[in-house]
Amino acid sequence: MNLIHLWKGGGWRRKLLFLWGAVILFELVAGNYSSVRSLFYEGEALTDQFKIEGDLALEDGKYFSPSGSFSLVLSDLGREINNLYFDWELEKGTVLTYRVNLTDEGNVYPYAFPEGQLVGGVESTLYTNLYPYGRVGSVRIDFEAGGPISLRMNGIEANVRRPFFLNGWRMCLLFAAVFLALGLAPGSRLWEIGFHSKSKRQKLITAAMAAVFLLLGLGLSHANYACVEAMPEHHLQYQELARSIADGHVWVDDQPSEGLLAAENPYDTIYLQAGQIPYKADYAYFQGKYYVYFGIVPELVFYLPCYLLTGKNFPNHLAVYGFYVGFVIAVFGLYREAVKRWFPKLPYFAYLLAAAVTLTFGSYMYLIVRPDLYNLPILGANMFTAAGIGLWLAGLNRETGRWPFFLAGSGCMALVAGCRPQMLLFSALAIPLFWEEVIKKRSLFSARTLKDTVAICLPYVLVAAGIMYYNYLRFGSPMDFGATYSLTNNDMTKRGMNLSRMVYGIFCFFFQPARYEGVFPFLTSSDIQNQYMGRTVSEFIFGGILASQAIAWSLICLPGKREDLHKKGLLGPIGSALLLSVLIGAFDANGAGILQRYMADMVFGIALASSLMLLFLFAAMGREKRRGSAAIFVSAALLQHFIYAFLMVFACGDSMNLKNYGPQLFYRAAEMFRW
């Protein structure tokens, strides 16, 4: 109550200083509990008492283990051990996993503690607390690096005074969480600051917040070196296509093996593997040639221009980040126009939150931290979708000079077909958005607004013509995008349509509960179980969109607020966005499979609907003096939403995660939860 009272009174500078002071105090006392606990410890060197077992040898002042496996053993210790300090030097990014086994006053036989990690470049991991039963008898520490390792051992100490580590990440996240909670409190002054589209101060704040997301995306897109430095060969398809187009054809230059050419069914990859027949995984194979079935637009935006101008390949992770930059800008622009159209008296902070909620929907965090070939066209399609809808709204918000916005908006929406064709369904949002103009006013088809109508329709015609011609060059049919010819883990040419696959897919994509455990990164993948008596393609997911992110639960208000939403012209866009997401989910489940990255095909509709409903609730609360339970629900939902987004960055469902390929970042984050 004192914090809330302070938040209501006094200036912003005083409030922020007080809040930072409280965060620093928490970090010093609670965040450094282990340091406070060890203030009166007196260190004891154990280096000479340990015996080395395993293939660990001293070479030129450093210890080297070819296998990365060795053990340290100490017998007849007979004293209390509260912590250990490994004064070792490892190369940055090196992870050395260890497990302590010991006997104590309560256990005659050795028992094992959970695993710990020593991480090169993360000093705090060199300390670990131990909680045995009284005095310790014997100690055995088993180490495993998973491969050759070289390190310098300066010593091992017990019962040391742990230094204070001020964890900047933890402090910033805690500050942001408390600031958000206090800012959304019913009596906060933030409710009184309205959105003003012409305010220079608000434009600067918006630009600063967008810059934060851009810097965050830059860091995450470069953190996973499996995508930056060690791309598998089959992730270089766009680079190969650039060389092929420069040579005047659209097939990939590599020639299929004789075994593949002679195979009765070349799409049965299990047969190919059993017969040791070479093939290029995840390429489209058609009539004796390899093709790239991924959308052509990323090729034309990044890879081909780079190759023609420099003769060099464009990196996938930079292409993903390029689309992410466009996505951030598009989302802020989209909600700016949405607020101007539907919420003219909205509190300004609600606009920022709506953009932040969309950008941090879990699927987008998954894409940016794994910037590989597969995620590139998906993020591109999301960028063009957000930009297209935002430009349409910008045109609708103007009385004159609308056609350039309609033209650009339709151009963006049409280009989605060249990235992720199924996301072209979101173009159907034009129906509720233009309903007033087309059905009631009938202005788009009048002579006065013929230019607007042409601007809306023409880009679809031109882009469709280009893509259909590209499809014809590859597969002999303007409507064949080539996904069925993919040499993947199942024969896509025989997959067909099945209602059961759709039902299971819709459940997993939207309603599968998220799974959590007590060890960082807490969020863990859900195994996909079903009784579909056939072959379905599935990997893992981190919970369904609606079930795992509480901000989407605001959509429960949709039936009760139906009349109010209809009056504002929001019922159609929100309902259509939800329906289109479900249709895309059904299409993906049937035609492709149930994978975490596929959730980004449909998440935009849920994010848009949830954010528009959030803005609607904020607008309603802004008009009331007593906000009460509604403000509490929104605060809790936002907190859960951002926590889920944070955990999604570090979640480990596949091998290409930060734990394996960005260990410094992963374990620095893990240290926030070690006390």
3-state SS, one letter per residue, for 356-370: HHHHCCHHHHHHHHC
Q: Is residue 39 in a domain?
A: no
Q: Which of 434, 210, 196 is nearest to 333 (CA)?
A: 210
Q: Is residue 258 in a domain?
A: no
- Residues 323 and 397: their CA atoms lie apart, in Å, by 26
Q: What is the pLDDT of residue 1?
A: 46
Tell whether 608 and 547 lie within a shared domain: yes
Q: Which of 128, 158, 188 is at the close of a domain?
A: 158
Tell whether 135 and 218 lie within a shared domain: no
| Average pLDDT value for residue range 350-375 | 93
> Which residues fall within 8 angstroms of residue 544, CB to CB, at 6 or more apart?
507, 508, 509, 510, 511, 512, 513, 514
CB 474 within 8 Å of CB 250: yes
Q: Is residue 489 in a domain?
A: yes
Is pLDDT above 60 for 488?
yes
Tell whether 97 and 213 lie within a shared domain: no
Count of Cβ atoms closer than 10 Å to residue 113 Cβ: 15
> Which residues fall within 8 angstroms of residue 615, CB to CB, at 6 or more apart?
335, 338, 339, 342, 343, 346, 350, 351, 354
Mean pLDDT for the chain overall: 88
Tell whether 83 and 204 lie within a shared domain: no
Q: Is residue 329 in a domain?
A: yes
Q: Tell me the three state secondary structure of residue 87.
A: strand
Q: Which of 158, 185, 206 is at the close of a domain?
A: 158
Domain that holds residue 137: 44-158
Tell whether 213 and 88 lie within a shared domain: no
Tell whether 464 and 609 lie within a shared domain: yes
Tell whether 486 and 588 lie within a shared domain: yes
Instruction: Tell me the two tokens of residue 215.
Output: 């810097």
Tell whether 222 and 126 lie within a shared domain: no
* CATH number of the domain bearing residue 94: 2.60.120.260
> Which residues fall within 8 angstroms of residue 607, CB to CB, at 6 or more apart?
357, 358, 361
The dihedral through the CA atoms of 662, 665, 668, 670 has a sign that is: negative
Q: What is the pLDDT of residue 442?
A: 60
Which run of H or E residues covers position 433?
helix 430-433
Tell whether 213 and 131 lie within a shared domain: no
Count of Cβ atoms closer than 10 Å to residue 488 Cβ: 17
CB 95 within 8 Å of CB 117: yes
Number of domains in the chain: 2
CB 589 within 8 Å of CB 506: yes
At residue 401 the predicted structure's pLDDT band, cuts being 50, 70 and 90, is confident
Which run of H or E residues covers position 210?
helix 200-221
Q: Which of 140, 141, 138, 87 is nearest to 116 (CA)?
A: 141
At residue 220 the predicted structure's pLDDT band, cuts being 50, 70 and 90, is very high
pLDDT digits (tens, 9 = 90+) for 30-54: 888 888 989 999 888 998 888 989 8
Tell whether 107 and 217 lie within a shared domain: no
Q: Is residue 272 in a domain?
A: no
Is pLDDT above 60 for 14?
yes
Count of Cβ atoms closer than 10 Å to residue 337 Cβ: 20
Q: What is the pLDDT of residue 628?
A: 66
Q: Tell me the residue ranges of DSSP E strands in 11-65.
A: 44-45, 51-54, 57-59, 62-65
- Residues 94 and 237: their CA atoms lie apart, in Å, by 31
Query: Could you give the percent of the chain with pLDDT greater than 90?
Result: 52
pLDDT digits (tens, 9 = 90+) for 240-254: 999 999 999 999 988
Q: Which of 600, 642, 656 is nearest to 370 (CA)?
A: 656
Q: Is residue 245 in a domain?
A: no
In our burial notation (b when 16+ CB lie closer than 10 A, e otherwise), range 641-666 reads bbebbbbbbbbbbeebbbbbbbbbbb
Strand bridging mode 149-158 / 44-45: antiparallel
Tell whether 142 and 202 lie within a shared domain: no
Please provide the distance, in angstroms rounded to a whole number, between the alpha carbons at the two ends of the chain.
27
| Average pLDDT value for residue range 372-387 | 96
Q: Which of 140, 158, 176 is at the close of a domain?
A: 158
- Residues 346 and 612: their CA atoms lie apart, in Å, by 12
- Residues 102 and 136: their CA atoms lie apart, in Å, by 7
Q: Which of 473, 482, 190 is nearest to 350 (CA)?
A: 190
Residues in the chain: 675
Tell whether 220 and 91 lie within a shared domain: no
CB 400 within 8 Å of CB 452: no
CB 192 within 8 Å of CB 9: no
Q: Tell me the three state secondary structure of residue 666.
A: helix
At residue 269 the predicted structure's pLDDT band, cuts being 50, 70 and 90, is confident
What Rg, from alpha-carbon coordinates, does the chain have?
29
- pTM equals 0.91
Is pLDDT above 60 for 273?
yes
User: DSSP string of 503-552?
Assistant: HHHHIIIIIPPPEE-SSTT-EEPBP-----SS---B--BSS-HHHH-GGG
CB-count exposure of residue 540 (10 Å: 0-12, 13-18, 19+): middle
Q: Tell me the three state secondary structure of residue 344.
A: coil
Q: What is the pLDDT of residue 7?
A: 47
| Average pLDDT value for residue range 634-645 | 90
Q: Is residue 501 in a domain?
A: yes
Q: Is residue 23 in a domain?
A: no
- Residues 263 and 251: their CA atoms lie apart, in Å, by 20
pLDDT digits (tens, 9 = 90+) for 278-319: 888 889 999 999 999 999 999 999 999 999 999 999 999 999
